């Protein structure tokens, strides 16, 4: 028995590889066209903290473009008005950080950020974290006890003069020159006067006798 061979036309032979190539291109994954994204943060989004943080750190999959007016990190307090970021954002590879002023209120804080990705497109979003009352109390500065005011100069002088005045009064009451008691001086003075009177009387009596 004679077998009949089917002939393939040249056009058909050319179309088969083209179809296979087209199918392979369709099945191949398309190149990634997504922009840079936030991969993590410290504090983490939604975290409740028992210690007050001193800075905010945002991490991206690629290093954002450093500087420029389009970059900012703002930390807003529980009242929705007070901001706590200290200065502008600092860039370190894929990390963007900003320092914090002391967080003096318990509650939920919001981190709003905007940076320019490595491909030139802006990235912006917001995160939150909560600070407990215990954390705020532990971070508050301790108040030093009030010191009692020291007495002023005139008061000290007056206080210092009291013993001298007392000593002067005691010295005047107890004695005079030489440190003798006052009573001894008085008695001696009276004795001197008495002796003088006796002498005067004796002299007069002698004169009277002589004249007779």
In a domain, 6, yes or no: no
What is the rounded average pLDDT for all residues in the chain?
75
Would you say residue 7 has pLDDT above 70?
no
Both 134 and 178 in one domain: the answer is no
pLDDT for 119: 86
Domain interval for residue 133: 38-138
pLDDT for 28: 47
Both 58 and 130 in one domain: the answer is yes
Most confident by average pLDDT, 98-102, 141-145, 174-178, 202-206: 98-102
**Count of structural domains within the chain:** 2
Both 79 and 129 in one domain: the answer is yes
In a domain, 93, yes or no: yes
DSSP-derived secondary structure for 181-204:
BHHHHHHHHHHHHHHHHHHHHHHH
Q: Give the residue-averaged pLDDT of 36-63.
A: 96
Strands 55-60 and 95-100: antiparallel
Tokens 């970021």 correspond to 85
Both 128 and 196 in one domain: the answer is no
Q: Give the residue-averaged pLDDT of 88-108.
A: 96
Would you say residue 156 has pLDDT above 80?
no
In a domain, 21, yes or no: no
Which CATH number is 134's domain given?
2.60.40.1220
């Amino acid at each position: 028995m004679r077998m009949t061979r089917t002939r393939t036309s040249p056009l058909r032979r050319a179309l088969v590889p083209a179809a296979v190539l087209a199918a392979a291109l369709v099945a191949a994954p398309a190149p990634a066209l997504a922009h840079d994204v936030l991969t993590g943060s410290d504090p983490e989004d939604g975290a409740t903290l028992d210690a007050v943080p001193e800075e905010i750190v945002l991490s991206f999959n690629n290093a954002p473009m450093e500087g420029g007016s389009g970059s900012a990190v703002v930390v807003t307090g529980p009242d929705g008005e007070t901001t706590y970021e200290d200065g502008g954002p600092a860039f370190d590879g894929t990390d963007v950080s900003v320092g914090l002023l002391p967080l003096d209120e318990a509650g939920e804080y919001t981190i709003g950020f905007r940076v320019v990705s490595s491909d030139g497109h802006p990235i912006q979003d917001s995160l939150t974290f909560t600070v407990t009352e215990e954390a705020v109390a532990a971070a508050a500065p301790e108040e030093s006890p009030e010191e009692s005011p020291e007495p002023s100069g005139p008061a000290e002088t007056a206080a210092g003069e009291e013993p001298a005045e007392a000593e002067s009064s005691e010295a005047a009451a107890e004695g005079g020159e030489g440190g003798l008691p006052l009573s001894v001086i008085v008695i001696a003075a009276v004795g001197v006067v008495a002796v003088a009177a006796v002498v005067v009387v004796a002299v007069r009596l002698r004169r009277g006798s002589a004249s007779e």
